[in-house]
Structure 1
């Protein structure tokens, strides 16, 4: 399968500055995440032309390339070309001198530690939801073999999460994976023995020992400290003894300090974060839910949602439940509803197929294809999704819905995890249902109106295109050739231009003179269908303050292509070194496509070929 992406991988690698510019490469559920030596070498415009890439942007201290569900295949192909870079962010002398912001470094570290096994966390989350549903419905006996295996599969990862964290944190902090795993195993070991003490007393201090199941911060801080100890050991232990004694003394020193100091402190920090979040949440659960869910997908767009997701695991570890991801689920279903609504309002087969594909991904909790492929591009579905999410999040807060587990990827298969002693799954179902209905409904409502307006403009454009006339004898050219960026880039709308042979200016369309500029250099004519045409006579002619212009019409006057509206003094323009190009644009009709036949035309001749 990877062979299909060879060319794509080569192009992506070239666009980020080549293999030699890549310090590290990881991926999450939808994105390639590069850490680069020099971000100035990125060829951003080339990514815009690559069909498989939905979005490419620098954020959170990384360069992120949004691929969608095919990201794993592309990543595996890329690794064949770049080799084993590890998942750590380079800290060698090859790294650029530019100092990263603390926020970028923090987000980069969090994503590097959690994203490599995000699919596993999502998978066991689904299994956890299934276990809870089986308990609720009592379909099978909780003492049965099937239930025991399912329970082990769904709970084991979360209890032994420090092992996973140790592997990716070791890569991030550049320390031996196996030494880091040994340290994480030591943290978890007390939980495996009933005879092991829960705590020990050292003087005036009581040190807890059985607190590291599923621990996030203690493991991260422990591996970070281990990296420094190991580096120190490598400097002072002779090479001949390094194989055995570097890990021996690294574990010995780090182990005692982690159990005595770093672990308990990190655990208290986690408790502080959880309690601090709980305090903010309790100020107003309804408002908190509405705000977080309403703006949740903005975090995803900029790739900084990893700054929020670990709080969910910390809450689960400390409090036994989480509310932040419960509210965030509405953010997911808001964009899911919006992209489903876009299926109903798609104007062609291709647009509908893209929406269907994105909707399938969003149903499983992956919203990037919906965001970049449909909702953000069309704007109104994204806004509709955020509105629906805000309502759903507010309902989640109002009902005080809790998530009894960690679910970094949110979909309907996780719903069983919302059932617990202080929460009912039905409340979350109500919240996400309201979110989906509002988002889809608003998208369909706005989309239908938008399509109707576009059809109307298209009809207007077609009518104008067949009744558009040359305003002056001369060489008709496309706007791109006008020597003024405002017009050549079509900032003022589409249209055409004429290099005049004389100064007799006629109306390019039939309609009414709506406005004559005080400086006489421009006239606005409104057609019978309401579309406005701007006739701009010469470039920078506003500086002439009306000199060289003789306006032959008045505001409110009816005109046709046979009506001469002005005389201009070309000799005066030449004397003043003024470009005399006559420009006709349609500022309010972006649907109008003006492709002229570039040639010498007489005044009042039809423009279109």
Structure 2
């Protein structure tokens, strides 16, 4: 279907439901766009039905506009993209928001245009978005699983009676498995949502990694070495990569598949192509990596001592992240069969201890960020009991550096156990405190010492070196306006002086532009008020009026001035320059300072802004435009500081 048709249908639906401001949420099913309407009286039902491409309208708890299979997903996606949200998210409504909220709403769009984050940070941010919605399930199921592990280990050690406790333990393990055994499905669905693919298809791709339909007696082979593929090989990271490929294939197919058969052909081809790639490429590659890692681990074990303990303890978290730790199970079983215990498991368990220490350090250093602290509080008890996924995917990995320092903590704990030597577990069980009952030959105190070493090592490494600067600044200003592109509404006052026409001089020298030329909807649409924009050729900024400074932003990129006549003027230097956190800006005034026309109020390094990829276009906006009859542009093309810029008619 031609893109212009999709755009037209989307636009006309909005026009007939009272605009985007009359829609609270939007989702779709196989044939219908479903909208939660705020005020039904604003909906033009006859107009909706008359739209070319609309097959019908259904009035229910949600307003349902029928556009047919194959078309509905494209129309719905276009509609949510128009307002900058995703399917199912609440629409932002300009009429209900403060100016702070309006600017925060557009920050993401402006950031895409002007701020170029590193690809590594973008990947970590994506991982965070995929796993954060799963944290409540991680915490609940993890605590239940942790309790099952402690009880199971006590039964194995003979402390508890198996006949009395095993059935209860089994129930707990079944509940725990609901999230952890089928984690690939949940991750697949969330990843699809993040990448713009169909969530159900993402879930199927996640399930493919479990090889559920494979005959164990005739397993699929690793094309690289001929070994049998194992369920879960490739891990969660492999699932995310496969779903990312799915999103690309699905979007391309929808561009070429006719709408009449889209619902049949697109998901079939997408699953067939990506499922095959996942089985025969992604999973085998992970198998090759796992084989290499196991070989490296065996080599390190032969070296022995604290060095081996450090290397193994530090490397285990990356193995968990890639789902490669499952390959170690045969090694554990072989060691137990030959020696009565596995000396590898206690060392590897230290990786979880490093996570715990890192999380506590993050809690302390970022304690002002209440949302983040709540996430840590939920994941910590589970981590202490040996369930590491919430801490890995919800806390340390999304931040990048703390994941590395947590690995260092795990290495320190492993070095302690490796240094003492001969610390083994009589059975395979979860790590953390839950493993204590399984430690053989009374060496539980060495294991506990190693665990404490991992806690302390992870804490110190993270506290000192593991806090990213931008994350710390965000936490320090949590709840404040510095981290989002916000415009603080100045206290509105009625004009204080009688006048027929007020004049605003230019604060800058440069090229005059219209607001519509600004690539930022808040300014270009006149949402903040009428005015003009200047593409500066000089970094000197002077006051355009006699008046009082009403606001100076902490990031120095925007200044508000109220003239003696009561005209409220906003000078916003560049687009999304809040991201520079004041770098390149110098202010010479503070809030409530008295200023006169032509007085130097700020200086900006235009070259630095441009080198960083930011637009230097500077809007000069009358934020109380509604108080006046007309705001007129008095300048065109070139302008110098002090030249007449705007006229205000009372």
Fold agreement, TM-score > 0.5: no
Larger C-alpha radius of gyration, 1 or 2? 1
TM-score, scaled to structure 1: 0.39
Q: TM-score, normalised by structure 2?
A: 0.37
Which gives a bigger RCO, structure 1 or 2 (Cα 8 Å, sep 6+)? 2
